[in-house]
Amino acid sequence: MKKLSTTGGANAIVTKVSLIAALAGLLFGLDIAYVNGSLELIVKDFGLTTSQSENIAGILLFGAAIGAVFSGWLSRRYGRKKVLLLASLIFALFTFLGVFAPSYTVLLVARFIIGLAVGIASFVAPLYLSEIAPFKIRGRLIAMYQLMITIGILAMFLSNAALLHFGSWRLMMSVIAIPALVMFVGALFLPESPRWLVLVGRPDDAEKVLQRIRTSDEEVEFELNEIKETVKVKGGGWKLLSKSFFRKVIILGILLQALQQFSGMNAFMYYSGQVFKAAGLSNPAIATVVIGLVNMLTTLIAIRYVDKLGRKPILYTGLSILAISCAVVGYLFRINPPGSEMTSVEQWMTLIFSLLFIFGFAVSLGPIVWILCSEIFPLKGRDFGITITTATNWISNTIIGSYTLTWFAHLGVGGTFWMFGAFNLIGFLIVGFITPETKDIPLEELEKNLEKGVPLRKLGMRHVS
Ligand code: BGC
């Protein structure tokens, strides 16, 4: 294979480019985890009610839902690079606004606008990564993005725990400005996505980018032709909705994303401090750091095994763990209503089953729902499908962020976890009856089966007539 003289450092460039784009995942994690540990300080500072404090968490997620809806259009119109640059600029500027917010309302506005950037980045960064990565490591790069989210969450939990004794939520927030600035400066130097350049009729520019990021002329030529072929397939989400096979996969994606959120994971991500305090744990901030660590390490394991073991067996295992841990944590809070104190054995059990819950999520629903949603849609409707399902994720996430404290107050912490447990049981029906196994099957074959009218559950089987 002939080596390109200009592309000696192609691998190094791809690594650099991927790291900068993956910073979007880190910022996503940092921003959503921020409230866990800082919220009580904000409440004290501004004298907020329960629903106002839920708004601090919820408004960012609501912004993300809106950002996700518009990101498909934005990245098609202006290109992936410009949109990533915009998101990183918003992250940096509005983090400063948040840090210096003189009032609750200004803080809400800053969090809403940061949310727009989170939603945009959650769509564009994985898209950009998948378009810039050499085909052999594409899957690994998308997985790396997921891992960056969990690293961001862990980093925020750690930083909040370390800064707790200063008692300043502003200081806690200022930490986010550093990676935001790094990403903004780095994004200035990103090459545009070759696929987008072909999409807007600039194949020569696409070729120039490919020459920088691929190692041989053959690779450049092969990929350029492949891109030209795939962009010929016109996208047409709304029109495709008239086809029942497309409606079916859209509904599947929506149900999977709603299930991921209603499993209750983010009740821990945002409010584990409150849960552990209610259980009487002496150091909720440290327990929260352990949660972040288990989340990150388990995601690492999941990424390693998801292609080997298949999606469905892991989903069944994860859902069983989630349902059982919700039942136990719920029970421990039910027998210890507010005002009574848990014994130390009960406190340990609360912690252990909470960690088991995190393990169950991070090994299954966490990564696999995103993977399935990137696989089940036919090429023509992929952008549309991913936009709808990503928006569903954020809308459901907004509901969890905005109402969990209210549920804790009205249903009790125990009742709330039983409710999440019930959703995880419903998850068995979704996985059992309508989710296909997509391990080891080319996406083109899934698409053919779908168009033939094969039932969703059997989409991943070969040669179904
Ligand atoms: C979910 C997020 C969640 C994170 C936790 C992601 O897959 O979409 O809502 O906070 O996992 O690691």
Residue 463 covered by a domain: no
- Provide the token pair at 343: 């014994």
pLDDT tens for 331-357 read 999 999 988 899 999 999 999 999 999
**Percent of the chain at pLDDT exceeding 70:** 95
**For residue 424, what are the domain limits?**
7-458
**Which residues does residue 3 pair with via DSSP β-bridges, in sequence order?**
216
- pTM here is 0.88
So what's the pLDDT on residue 131?
82
> Would you state the pLDDT for residue 7?
45
> How far is the centre of ligand 1, averaged over its atoms, from the C-alpha of 209 (Å)?
33
Contact between 371 and 454 under an 8 Å Cβ cutoff? The reply is: no
Distance CA 463, CA 465 (A): 6
The residues that bridge with 216 in the sheet, in sequence order, are: 3
Whether 118 is in a domain gets the answer yes
CB atoms near residue 434 (< 10 Å): 17
- Cα 385 to chain centroid distance, Å, stands at 16
**Per the structure, how many domains does the chain have?**
1
Which domain CATH number covers 252? 1.20.1250.20
Taking 80 as the threshold, does the pLDDT of residue 322 lie above it? yes
| Selected residue with higher pLDDT from 287 and 144 | 287
- Note whether residue 1 is domain-resident: no
269 lines ligand 1 (CB under 6 A): yes
Residue 427 lies in a domain: yes
pLDDT value of residue 1: 44
* Complete DSSP assignment for 221-238: HHHHHHHHHHHHS---HH
pLDDT single digits (tens) 378-432? 888 887 898 899 999 999 999 999 999 999 999 999 999 999 999 999 999 999 9
Tokens 């009740």, residue located: 267
Given this model, what pLDDT does residue 219 score?
Answer: 87
Distance (Å) from CA 123 to ligand 1 centroid: 14
- The answer to whether residue 139 scores a pLDDT higher than 90 is no
> Would 2 be classed as within a structural domain?
no
Q: Residue 123 falls within a domain, yes or no?
A: yes
In a domain, 298, yes or no: yes
Nearest ligand 1 atom, CA 153 = 12
How confident is the model at residue 174, as a pLDDT?
96
Q: What is the mean pLDDT of the chain?
A: 90
SS3 of 189, please? coil
Q: Is 393 in the pocket of ligand 1 (CB under 6 A)?
A: yes
pLDDT tens digit sequence for 37-70? 999 999 999 999 999 999 999 999 999 999 999 9
Nearest CA to 322 out of 422, 253, 393 is that of 422
The pLDDT of residue 303 is: 82
Residue 179 Cβ contacting ligand 1 at under 6 Å: no
In a domain, 465, yes or no: no
Q: What sign for the dihedral angle of Cα 289, 294, 297, 300?
A: negative
Place of tokens 């054995």: 345
